């Protein structure tokens, strides 16, 4: 089956109805969208592709729906920004990541919290739900997880972090 141009893109917006679910799971509401475009930014504070979220420091609690083609780099960046800036971060990530080395080296090795999301996600393309050739909403075939890096003082309070 031939892929559409939209399916080859990393510019997928998060459906707004999913955000309250993600933030409830995370236990906080972020204020920074580090991988955004002006068209799909969720918060007034965001980092565009040109500003480069892989280089620009994150100093606020962040929601991350990073580029699918750079999932490993995005997980590494989330972890590094958590270590450097002690911020809360919630990341939407494909469950396929669980079989990758970076998942075990970062998420599992550091006891980072994660939860599966129930149901499919119809991501946004150009601000509108992605649709198939027949005009129907098209839900992503993969399962997704919410990964949460909590501020270290929160982890200490709930005894999840012994070494800090």
Structural domains for the chain: 6-157 (3.40.50)
How many whole angstroms separate alpha carbon 46 and alpha carbon 150?
A: 20
What confidence tier does 23 reach under pLDDT thresholds 50, 70, 90?
very high
Q: Which of 93, 80, 86, 38 is nearest to 61 (CA)?
A: 86
Q: Which of 139, 149, 12 is nearest to 70 (CA)?
A: 12
Place of tokens 């998420």: 107
Give rounded-to-5 percent helix, strand, coil for the chain: 30, 20, 50
Neighbours of 73 (CB within 10 A): 13
| CA angle (34 as vertex; 33, 35 as ends), nearest 5 | 100
pLDDT score recorded for residue 8:
52
C-alpha atoms less than 13 angstroms from C-alpha of 45 in its C-beta half-sphere:
13
- pTM score: 0.83
* Best-predicted range by mean pLDDT (17-26, 77-86, 88-97): 77-86
């Amino acid at each position: 089956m031939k892929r559409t141009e939209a399916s080859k893109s990393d510019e997928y917006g998060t459906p707004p109805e999913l955000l309250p679910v993600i933030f409830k799971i995370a236990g906080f509401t972020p204020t920074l969208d580090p991988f955004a475009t002006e068209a799909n930014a969720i918060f007034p504070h965001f980092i565009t592709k040109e500003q480069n979220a892989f280089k620009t420091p994150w100093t606020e609690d962040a929601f991350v729906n990073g580029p699918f083609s750079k999932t490993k780099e995005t997980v590494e960046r989330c972890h590094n920004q958590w270590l450097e800036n002690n911020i809360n971060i919630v990341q939407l990530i494909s469950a396929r990541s669980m079989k990758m080395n970076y998942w075990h080296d970062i998420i599992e090795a550091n006891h980072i919290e994660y939860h599966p999301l129930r149901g499919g996600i119809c991501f946004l393309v150009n601000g509108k739900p992605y649709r198939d050739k027949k005009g129907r909403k098209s839900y992503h075939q993969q399962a997704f997880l919410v990964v949460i890096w909590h501020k270290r003082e929160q982890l200490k309070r709930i005894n999840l972090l012994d070494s800090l």
